[in-house]
Structure 1
Amino acid sequence: MKILRNACVLIAASSLAIGAAAQAQDFKNTVQSAASKWDEAFNKGDAEQLAKMYGSKGALLPPGSPAVAGDSNIQQFWKMTIGKGFGQHKVTVQQAETKGDMGYAYGRWQAIGPGEGGAKKQYEGNWSNVLERQGGEWKTVLHAWN
């Protein structure tokens, strides 16, 4: 009996671990899909669409600059950034985890932008996002990069 009970506990624990791993992979896939849509909007120059991907109290933490918060400010930030000549943006998600209606994700980004003398330059770095489920959708509530 004890062996049977231990086997049942082990099977149940394994099922939970497999279920959690599958859920984490599903969330990572969801975030990568959202990141691809973000890249698409950025590369089309659609700052309005970018701003819609942030939560109602979303904020950006650009490197070396003050925080940018609120829909219209986020839209204006991306419009200005794109207007400077940045494009060919690509995000890769390395890790994403969720707990309830909150989650986080991080990875690498790269883009082409203005360099010295008008030449194009490749930029790249790390990014991290805090996400919240709002109205059935995952929205970024905090976005930081370097």
Structure 2
Amino acid sequence: MKTLSLISLFFFSFAIHAQNFQGNQEDINLILSNIKDFSSSVMNSEYQSIGNAYTDDAKIFPNNREIIKGREAIIGYWTLPEGVQTKYHKITPEEIKIIGNEAYDYGYYEGITLRPDGTESKWKGKYVIVWKKINQDWKMYLDIWNGIKD
């Protein structure tokens, strides 16, 4: 009986944290690939690649800031000061739903920032992204996030 209870608990826990992806699998895979590439670009300070992940008319909604509009302004936002580096960045979607040539996903993000003095800052939060399909690629149109305190 104890083993059955543990197995049931395992499957119940898995179901609670399971991802829910709806839409064409090829499109889902492309969005997942773009999410991974975005994190890689953030960690490598590849600001043009970060900017190219967004539509030309994209908007971002950073925590405690005004809305930032347009690719160039978004690149400016993501550009770090000299000596600061994003050591780790990961986005974990909980749900992706494709509706025609638009999609949304939401989930969690986490990361570590390395400061010039060698100290690190860990952070995490939740996000929502609205995607648009442009020329057979998925780009972020609206990107909103806010932090979660430990």
TM-score normalised by the chain length of structure 1: 0.76
Give 1:64's aligned residue.
Answer: 64
Higher helix share: 1
Query: What stretches of structure 1 of length at least 5 have no aligned partner?
Result: 1-20
Q: Distance in 1 between matches of 2:81 and 2:103?
A: 27
Q: Between the two proteins, what is the percent identity of the paired residues?
A: 20
Identify the residue that residue 37 of structure 1 maps to in structure 2: 37
- What pairs up with 1:4-83 in 2 under 5 angstroms? 23=23, 25-80=25-80
2:82 and 2:36 map into 1 onto residues whose CA distance is 17
* Structure number, greater radius of gyration: 1
Q: Once the 2 structures are TM-superposed, how far is the Cα of residue 118 of structure 1 from its aligned partner?
A: 5.7
Unaligned runs of 5+ in 2: 1-20
For normalisation by structure 2, the TM-score amounts to: 0.74
Matched residue count: 125
1:100 and 1:82, CA in 2 relative to 1: closer, same or farther beyond 3 A? farther
- Root mean square deviation of aligned Cα: 2.3
Distance 1:38 1:124 in 2: 16
Distance in 2 between the 1:95 and 1:59 partners?
A: 21
